[in-house]
Chains A and B, each alone.
Chain A
Amino acid sequence: NAGVMQNPRHLVRRRGQEARLRCSPMKGHSHVYWYRQLPEEGLKFMVYLQKENIIDESGMPKERFSAEFPKEGPSILRIQQVVRGDSAAYFCASSPGQGRETQYFGPGTRLLVL
């Protein structure tokens, strides 16, 4: 299966802990996007990355959230000092290029903050 892979699928953290979400794009895709879905809402854009570069992080909260896509390995979305409001489904998507290239989504990581 050459689809977008995300792990873990479910993550439980206590308030104040760190959450690390991983995303491996589809084979041949070098563009990665992170979206967040709160309950009963649509997906909201967070950040767009290419290898070793953050292209657009306009949807990321200013504090506690960071993302990277290193030369080797998966893209990581990191949430420091999690709060209950961070509980959501986090989806990663990838595309071979940008512009009119369709984004293909992974299965998501469901984060629950206790």
Chain B
Amino acid sequence: DQQVKQNSPSLSVQEGRISILNCDYTNSMFDYFLWYKKYPAEGPTFLISISSIKDKNEDGRFTVFLNKSAKHLSLHIVPSQPGDSAVYFCAAAGGSGTYKYIFGTGTRLKVLA
């Protein structure tokens, strides 16, 4: 039972354009969401988070949007840079297991120079 889904395994974007990565979840108890970036042979690096009391959180080039009614979140990267090429994981937590992150399967972003 995949509670957090990233339906696009890969995405290619031209440098300077917007990258939009999507994530859907099924568990209505989730109330905290995070995005991590991962390079090959490295650990996930925290990017940005959002709690369910908000619908948007911004940090520099990264913005996360949360649509609770649709159980959907997205990560926008503007402008995209070649160094952003990596695998992006969304994660969710909530309910009694607030420390138990549930991860999606990842989206591989390639930013073309």
Chain A positions within 8 Å of B, measured between CB atoms, are 4, 6, 31, 33, 35, 40-45, 48, 55-56, 58-59, 91, 95, 98-100, 102-108, 110
The listed residue (B4, B34, B42) touching A42 by CB distance below 8 A is B4
User: Once the chains are docked, how many angstroms separate the CA of A56 from the CA of B101?
Assistant: 13
Please give me the residue from chain B that is nearest to A42 by CB atom: B103
Q: Mark B72-113, 1 if CB is under 8 A from A, else 0.
A: 000000000000000001010000011111111110000000
The listed residue (B41, B89, B101, B104) touching A103 by CB distance below 8 A is B101
How big is the B interface, by class?
Answer: 20 to 34
Q: A95-B99, A100-B51, A103-B101 are in contact. List 9 more A-B contacts (CB 8 A).
A: A33-B99, A42-B89, A44-B103, A45-B100, A55-B99, A98-B99, A99-B98, A102-B46, A106-B43
- Please count the residue pairs between chain A and chain B whose beta carbons lie under 8 angstroms apart in the complex: 62
Question: Chain A nearest CB: distance from B29 CB in Å?
Answer: 14
Closest-CB distance, B97 to chain A (whole angstroms) = 7
A82 to B3, CA, bound (A): 29
Q: Which residues of A contact B4 (CB under 8 A)?
A: 42
Is B49 engaged at the interface, CB distance under 8 Å to the other chain?
A: yes
**B89 contact set on A, CB distance < 8 A:** 42-43
- Chain B hits for A31, CB < 8 A: 99
Chain B 28-72, CB-CB to A under 8 Å as 1, else 0, gives 000010101000011111100101000000000000000000000
Q: Which residue of A lies closest to B99 (CB)?
A: A98
Report B-chain residues with C-beta under 8 Å of the C-beta of A95. 99
Question: Given the known A-B contacts A31-B99, A48-B99, A100-B98, are A41 and B44 also in contact in the complex, defined by CB atoms under 8 Å?
Answer: no
Nearest A-chain residue to B87, judged by Cβ: A42
A56 touches B100 (CB 8 A): yes
> In the docked arrangement, what's the CA distance between A77 and B24, Å?
31
Q: Which residues of B contact A91 (CB under 8 A)?
A: 43-44
Contacts of A55 in B (CB 8 A): 99
Q: Which chain B residue shows the least CB distance to A92?
A: B43
The contact sample of 17 A-B pairs, CB cut-off 8 A, is A41-B105, A42-B104, A42-B106, A43-B44, A45-B100, A48-B99, A58-B100, A91-B44, A98-B98, A98-B99, A100-B51, A100-B98, A102-B34, A103-B101, A105-B36, A108-B41, A108-B42
